[in-house]
Structures are given as C-alpha cells and as structure tokens.
Amino acid sequence: MLSRLDDALDSTRPLVVFLGDDIDEEDHDILFPALREHRVAVVRVHPHELVVEMTDHGISFSVAGQKLRPHLVVGWVLDELLIPGIAHLDVFQRAGIPVINDAFTLFRAQNKYLDSSMLNLAGALRYPVITGRDPDALETWLRELDGPAVIKPLVGFGGRGLRRVEGETELQDFLTEVRQQGGAYYAVSWVENPGRDIRVYTINHQPVFAMYRYAPPGKWITNVRAGGGIAMCPLTPEITEVARRASEAAGTLIGGVDIGENQATGELVVYEVNSCPTCEPPVLLALADFLSMAVRDLETARQTWRPTKVYKELDSNPALFHASKRRMLA
C-alpha cells in the first residue's frame, strides 16, 4: 500500500486528501494528528492508487476499494509523480472539489523557467536569467555576465544538478557539453552571498517561519539535502515582504520561498518558490489551522486566515525543527 489510509473515509468529519507519496512522512506524522485535533479527517493517497470512474452520472474517485469523497485536496506531487499527479488534481478541481496547491501552481513552480518568469514579473527575482536551446545565445550571455554563472536543471529539487561555471576553461567545457548534448538550458548569475540562504515558509501567502540554510564547509550549495547546517531566522519586515510578494506571484497557498542575501547590492533576491516544501513543526501546526478552515470554506480561509504566531524574534529552541534535523543546527 503506497497510500496512508489511517483515517476513516466515511467519517462525518470533513475530509482532506493529500495527493502524494511518503517523501514528507515526517511532516505528516505531525500534521495529520494536528488536523484531527481540529476535527478534520485526513489521508494520503498515492496517485498510482487512485481509481477514477466516469459514467453518465459524473466522475467518482476511490482508493483501495473505498469511495473517496474529499472536501479538499492538497497537491503534493513532484519529480516522476508530477505529471500523473497534476492530471488527477485537474480532474478533482473540474469535478468541483477545491484543490491547493492546484495543478497549474505545481507545474509552474516546479519548472524553473516558469518559476523565474513569475518572480521576475512581480519584481522579486532581481538577477538575470537565461533559458533556451540556442548555445550561441548562451555563450554571448555568459561572456557578458559580470562574474560566475550557476547552471540549474529546469526541473528538480534538493540542490541536485547545480553547477557553477567560472573562468574560461569551465566556460568552454560547459559550452562544449551544451553543443554536444543539445536540449534546454537554464542559467542564472552568481549571487555573492554569506554562504547561506533563507527558506521562508508561507501559508496563504503569509510568512510564518524562516530558517537559515548553510552550505557545508568548502561547498556553496545550501540546500538541506546537500548536507549543510540550519538555524532559525527571525522574520524581519524586509524578509516578510519579499517572501509574501514571491508567494503571491507563484500562487502557492503552501510554499517555501528561497531567498538570497546579495552582498554586492545589499538587497534580498528570490531564488525560487517551492510548491512542495518539507516543513518544520511550527509551520505544520499553522498549516493544520489553515486547512481546518479551508476544508470547510476555502474562499473564506483565503480571505481571512492569518497565522496566530509569526516567528519574528530569534528563538534557539531545537523543537522548532524536526528531530531528524536537530543534528544540523548551527
């Protein structure tokens, strides 16, 4: 069984369905009991185990031989599950079931080209980007760039596939690969930072909690999955405003905004908005509160929900982080 069906599907409580896999099981171990304390039923359904039937009476959903009648669906699909997952999310939504984050939100946020375009048009990106398939255009752009470039895969997470290009030798090696392999490229200018970035968690576009993510010694990739350190980051008015603007641009009602501190300009820049972020306990408790309102009336929740606690002050309590991450605290 790939799904997590540890709640009754015929409960009298409103039902939230998480469409996804167990990649964030540690999150669900906190979030699901918190939702139940709000008198909300919740299950996780793997996209491969969802059965959809279409008749003259409409569309129906089931899992493990049981009818599925959700009041709200939360999209949490990425990588190889993205395409089958967003197909299901689109059908749920067109069948009249509210969805967050919906199919197009997930698709756009998980494609760096689309993600960057949304941030750029909202004035939150603040550094140059190029994407395409023409290697000559890429070479011109790289040579005109004042400093190193970072090459990223168009789709992916966790710091995988990132590459820094600096100097003539690295430039020539990279351009040779591009010309030989073909395909689309995505490159951004290097942002001179203090060896860390800031992950801001947003719910309903409201920043709730933030943490610093430090690169391992001698490295520059700061993602937690890359093995760096972490620390609580107080939400300053500037960080809050940039994160809110980025979340609104990406449309993520549940999101993680990755912010860089540009030491050359003194301003904050947004690297990307994640639509399926691994969260921390304070975020999950706030998310349970939001979803408990959204499952009963999504539009009212979107208009009125605000977090009861925003972490604006420095707090060194290790319990703010999952037990599995406390060894990484800086």
Residue 232: name the closest of 281, 185, 191 by CA: 281
Give the pLDDT band (50/70/90) at residue 269.
very high
Answer yes or no: is 274 within a domain: yes
Give yes or no: residues 161 and 230 share one domain: no
Give the pLDDT band (50/70/90) at residue 136.
very high
Answer yes or no: is 311 within a domain: yes
Residue 29 or 216, more confident: 29
What's the whole-number mean pLDDT along residues 250-270?
95
Q: Mean pLDDT across the chain, nearest whole number?
A: 94
What's the whole-number mean pLDDT along residues 241-261?
97
Phi, psi (rounded to 5 degrees) for 243: -65, -40
Given 68, 103, 138, the domain boundary residue is 103
d(C-alpha 209, C-alpha 198), whole Å: 10
Mean pLDDT lowest among 8-12, 49-53, 91-95, 167-171: 167-171
Q: How far are the Cα atoms of 14, 39, 249, 293 from residue 35, in angstroms, in the given order?
A: 10, 7, 28, 10
DSSP string across 84-106: HHHHHHHHHHHTT--EES-HHHH
Answer yes or no: is 117 within a domain: no
Give yes or no: residues 232 and 262 share one domain: yes
Given 42, 70, 103, the domain boundary residue is 103
What's the whole-number mean pLDDT along residues 268-295?
97
Answer yes or no: is 116 within a domain: no
Residue 76 or 168, more confident: 76
Are 26 and 82 contacting, i.e. CB atoms less than 8 angstroms apart? no
**Domains in the chain: how many in total?**
3
So what's the pLDDT on residue 158?
Answer: 59
d(C-alpha 323, C-alpha 241), whole Å: 30
Is 252 a residue whose pLDDT tops 70? Answer: yes
Give yes or no: residues 150 and 216 share one domain: no
Give the pLDDT band (50/70/90) at residue 220.
confident
Give yes or no: residues 152 and 96 share one domain: no
State the distance between the two ends of the chain, measured CA to CA, in whole angstroms: 38
User: Residue 248's domain is classified under what CATH number?
Assistant: 3.30.470.20
So what's the pLDDT on residue 211?
Answer: 97
Is 129 a residue whose pLDDT tops 60? Answer: yes
Give yes or no: residues 152 and 224 share one domain: no
pTM score of the predicted model: 0.94
Give yes or no: residues 47 and 152 share one domain: no
185: amino acid identity, one letter: Y
Q: Which domain does 228 fall in, by range?
A: 196-282+292-328
Answer yes or no: is 110 within a domain: no
So what's the pLDDT on residue 159?
Answer: 56
What's the whole-number mean pLDDT along residues 153-181?
82
Give yes or no: residues 212 and 313 share one domain: yes
Give the pLDDT band (50/70/90) at residue 250.
very high
Q: How many CB atoms lie within 10 A of CB 194?
A: 11
Ramachandran category for residue 202: left, alpha or beta (phi over 0 → left; psi -120 to 50 → alpha): beta
What's the whole-number mean pLDDT along residues 185-196?
92
Residue 193: name the closest of 124, 272, 261 by CA: 261
Mean pLDDT lowest among 169-173, 220-224, 289-293: 220-224
So what's the pLDDT on residue 131?
Answer: 96
User: How many Cα atoms occupy the beta-carbon half-sphere of 85 within 13 Å?
Assistant: 29
Answer yes or no: is 215 within a domain: yes
CA dihedral 321, 325, 328, 330 (to 10 degrees): 0
**Per-residue model confidence as pLDDT tens digits over 53-104:** 999 999 999 999 999 999 999 999 999 999 999 999 999 999 999 999 999 9
Are 67 and 60 contacting, i.e. CB atoms less than 8 angstroms apart? yes
Phi, psi (rounded to 5 degrees) for 22: -95, 20
So what's the pLDDT on residue 330?
Answer: 79
Residue 226: name the closest of 201, 255, 258 by CA: 258
Q: How far are the Cα atoms of 75, 195, 227, 255 from residue 218, in angstroms, in the given order?
A: 36, 10, 12, 29
